[in-house]
Amino acid sequence: MKYSTLREFKQNKFSLESIPGDCKIHFIGLGGIGMSGLARILQDSGYKISGSDLNKNHLMEYFEKQGAEVYVGHAQDNLNNACAVVKSSAIKDDNPEYKKALENNIPVIHRAELLNALMTGFGQKSIGITGTHGKTTTTGMIATIFYEAGLDPGFAIGGEIPQLKTNSAYGKGGYFISELDESDGTVELYAPDVSIITNLELEHTDYYQGGFEQLLGTMERFIANTGVGSGVIINIDDPGNNALIDRIGQKNFITYSLENSSADYFAQIIQSVPDAKMKIFKKDDYQGEIGVGVPGVHNISNALGAVAASMECGLEFEQIKKGLAKFTGMKKRFQTVGFANGARLIDDYAHHPTEVAATINTARKIVDLEQKGRVIAVFQPHRYTRLENFWDEFLKSFDEADIVYICDVYSAEEKPIKGVNSREFSRKLQHKNACYIKGGLSSVADGLIKEIQPGDMVLTMGAGNITKLGGIIIDKAD
């Protein structure tokens, strides 16, 4: 999204009050995790919705069962008396539903505008989580804490909480917890009462063509929106966050750290695998020990951010401890999907070099702790542009895996770039057991079944359709 468009949105803030209660709101891309979450909240709060997507999935089937009009494919007739249309930055200008909305003067609402209206429109205290990595998991942790505390929170997350079987809720308990996407600059639209910035690293270079400085500028404007009296909680272990602090200077941040005991919130790691355990300190005052049902140092950092936000909102430490003990991870975030040939199959959304390295590192620690099996990384690059822009960084991300398979690039409708492909990448990868594995998921599964052994941990990583690979392997191995 262009900055000029963001500025226009800021000047003309969308409000739920502008849409009549009997209005039917149409979602272009209803099957997406973010769009479906917002649609569910609107539906639960009494609005009528309809929606379309290129393929029907379980999210669309949910709305269909609730009586919503659901369409497979995009067509002008799908609007069918809708009086408002919601779209994301992924929807192109030539989309027939978007074009019809403009031609017929039907209000078009960006998903970020709608989320901002949901954060502010119900009179709730808003908690927003942003950053390059870890925001989905951190948001899920906070939502689980508030839910287990009986506070009936509203929330909107870019991933599903398995034990709650949803990624969003209307909520009537006075809190709204939301993941704030920085990928297209729309994070500038929000002004939550409490914010968390997990970390900052260059990503989404299709939008941040000005590099890391552009990202810092976006986050500076986001913080400026929050105003006096709002709390901005920030992880000071992260170099990108520290660059933001140096840039802003005067903001009274609330800090958290695993490395600096002088931070406002500090965690001393007890163990990072197979589950995470830590001791929590608030301004040198020992609060107690907390365990989380997910592994990895990065998840200890995520949990500490969740602790900080919850305590700043007035929750008791024992409520927070109870909630985090119930948290078992987010769907597609180091999620165990099953077993095949005695190997554990883990699916993870990792599609950035830092995320890939962190996922493999966590698996390495678990396998070494158990003293059996190998770490087998199966990576599907997501978008040719991302593979090109982070080529050298990706080459360093797989060192701790025993075996690496590189699948064909998931294009996400991008055109191929000469010399940027999985075969060439696997050739450049300096790893003694790395290879390119050609073909669709069924062919990839056939190749893996021949390789995996009891005790192995198989990681399927990427933001494309590789998330289906574990299930295919299980079905074929039976």
Strand stretches in 170-229, DSSP E: 175-179, 194-197
Of the candidates 97, 113, 179, 182, the residue annotated as catalytic is 179
**Could you give the 3-state DSSP secondary structure of residue 168?**
strand
**Could you give the 3-state DSSP secondary structure of residue 314?**
coil
| CA distances for 260 relative to 236, 237, 265, 271, 350, angstroms | 8, 8, 9, 18, 27
Amino acid at the residue 409: V
**Distance of alpha carbon 319 from alpha carbon 192, whole angstroms:** 23
Of the candidates 24, 87, 135, 331, the residue annotated as catalytic is 135
**Distance of alpha carbon 90 from alpha carbon 412, whole angstroms:** 10
- H/E stretch holding 292 reads strand 285-292
| CA distances for 158 relative to 35, 96, 215, angstroms | 9, 26, 20
| Whether 8 contacts 34, CB under 8 Å | no
**Distance of alpha carbon 102 from alpha carbon 387, whole angstroms:** 35
Instruction: Classify residue 93 by burial, with Cβ atoms within 10 Å: 0-12, 13-18, 19+.
Output: exposed
- Does 179 participate in catalysis according to the annotation? yes
| CA distances for 427 relative to 25, 84, 397, 423, 431, angstroms | 49, 50, 15, 6, 9
- H/E stretch holding 307 reads helix 297-312
φ/ψ of residue 233, rounded to 5: -95, 130
**Distance of alpha carbon 346 from alpha carbon 296, whole angstroms:** 14
Pairing mode, strands 285-292 and 335-340 = unpaired
C-alpha of 91 from chain center? 19
Of the candidates 120, 130, 136, 144, the residue annotated as catalytic is 136
| CA distances for 442 relative to 137, 178, 394, 470, angstroms | 30, 36, 25, 10
- Does 135 participate in catalysis according to the annotation? yes
**Distance of alpha carbon 278 from alpha carbon 270, whole angstroms:** 5
Q: How many residues does the chain have?
A: 478
The conformation of residue 463, written as its DSSP 8-state character, comes to S
Residues with catalytic roles: 135-136, 179
